[in-house]
Structure 1
Amino acid sequence: MFTIYVYVLDTLADWELGYVTSELNSGRFFKKGAPRVMIKTVSCSKEPIHTMGGLTIIPDCLTDDIAVSQTSLLLLPGADTWNNPKHGAVIKKAGEFLASGAAVCAICGATAALAGFGLLNDRPHTSNGPGFLEMFVPDYKGQNFYVDAPSVADNNLITAGSAGALLWAKQILAYLDVFQSDTLKYWYEYFHTGKPEHFFALMQSLPANHSQL
């Protein structure tokens, strides 16, 4: 079973997590024999957090409760509050994940938090466009590894800009290997283009006894 730790903090950018958490939680398109997935929200305290969209989230657990293992994955969403020092503990935990081979998936402002700890200095990564990380992280030294793309997967590190949530989700789903390859292809194409033929191909890629939408 995979445990997905979703770090939550005030001003969390709701839309950046929507694609990936909905699919991981529902399992609606999982392939036969896919590993079970459990999602836990985690934060630096048990105080309610308020997202950018006005939703209130009560964290399930604390940063210290995160278990670093090959069956754990850390999701770091964007937010306007990453510069608060209290979030440093989870970025330190992210470093432990990466060093152990466990996966860290960061998007938007969370990439700046990783860059601030030097975790992007020597690995392919992306963010909100060239120059964004330099703007917020004066000591950023990963320019030679920056890739100007919506989302970049480098083994157990998956980073994205704020407009790359869909591709980011696809790369996370691929890393976890919970979809059949053709299901993942059509899932991405449908949500990327909105064309109905991709939706029907998506549904046809599922087992005959799979529950339909």
Structure 2
Amino acid sequence: MKTAKTRTCYVFIFEGFSDWESALVMPGLHLFTDVEVKTVSVDGKPVTTLGNLTVVPDTSLAQVTDKDIDLLILPGGNDWEKGGNLEIKPLVDRMLQTNKGVAAICGATIFLAQQGYLETVPHTSNHLGYMKSVAPEYKGDTFYLEKPAVQADNLITASGTAMIQFAYEIFRYLDVSENENLKFWFNFFLDTLPKREAFH
């Protein structure tokens, strides 16, 4: 029996986004929870991922409001380091202002750093030195944690190598991590992690 969908998670997609970084989150939510997964691009047009997949989004940014979303996922990609994808900022602002979740991994954490979202909240990224080098305006180093993934308040951040931990923190944030079917499926991935490295 399919689970009725009562909440919505949007994944922001753009040209060259890292398609593997949300690859566990999306099927986990779609298959086992009440969270519907949708994709959104700036203009609603198809994009090509770093893995050369063509993805047709469900909608465009102009058609989405924070009222439609319970969680916004920002996958990595080279555009973030170049200061790209700023079109997403108004939606991120509204999400956080209304206590909605924003989850960023790899390069997307650079966007959060560049825009000042990480100055007073615990977070992580690929490396603190990397963060400082590509976001010179970043002032959140005292809140930086050397962990694969961090959930604090309504922000989730993760290193680009931590797609499993990223998914886990999202499941915890959405309060679905104890869903028995999801747990059974996700444990196959958790079991591939060395215990000492899993969440520390």
Category of TM-score, reference length = shorter chain: 0.7 to 0.9
The equivalent residue for 2:198 is none
Gaps of 5+ in 2: 1-5, 194-200
Partner Cα distance (1:166, 1:99) in 2: 28
Of 10, 16, 20, 2:15 maps to 10
Does the Cα contact within 8 Å between 2:70 and 2:100 map onto a contact in 1? Answer: yes
The equivalent residue for 1:25 is 30
Partner Cα distance (1:63, 1:85) in 2: 18
Q: TM-score, normalised by structure 2?
A: 0.85
Alpha-carbon offset, residue 89 of structure 1: 2.1
Partner Cα distance (1:49, 1:90) in 2: 16
Partner Cα distance (1:20, 1:14) in 2: 11
Does the Cα contact within 8 Å between 2:65 and 2:91 map onto a contact in 1? Answer: no
Of 142, 145, 164, 2:143 maps to 145
SS in 1 for 2:116: coil
Of 162, 165, 174, 2:163 maps to 165
Does the Cα contact within 8 Å between 1:9 and 1:50 map onto a contact in 2? Answer: yes
The 5-angstrom pairing of residues 115-154 of structure 1 reads: 115-154=113-152
Partner Cα distance (1:118, 1:43) in 2: 23
Gaps of 5+ in 1: 31-35, 196-213
Alpha-carbon offset, residue 67 of structure 1: 2.1
Alpha-carbon offset, residue 12 of structure 1: 1.1
SS in 2 for 1:131: helix
The residue identity in structure 1 corresponding to 2:104 is A
**What is the CA deviation profile of residues 117-145 of structure 1, one whole-angstrom value per residue up to 9, with x for unaligned ones?**
11111111100012111111110111011
How many residue pairs get aligned? The number is 188
Does the Cα contact within 8 Å between 2:14 and 2:48 map onto a contact in 1? Answer: yes
SS in 1 for 2:112: helix
Alpha-carbon offset, residue 191 of structure 1: 1.1
Partner Cα distance (1:83, 1:180) in 2: 35
Partner Cα distance (1:144, 1:181) in 2: 35
**What is the CA deviation profile of residues 67-89 of structure 1, one whole-angstrom value per residue up to 9, with x for unaligned ones?**
21495210000011125666212
Does the Cα contact within 8 Å between 2:66 and 2:95 map onto a contact in 1? Answer: yes
CA distance 1:58–1:181, shift in 2 (3 Å): closer
Partner Cα distance (2:178, 2:128) in 1: 34
Does the Cα contact within 8 Å between 1:121 and 1:141 map onto a contact in 2? Answer: yes
Partner Cα distance (1:162, 1:85) in 2: 18
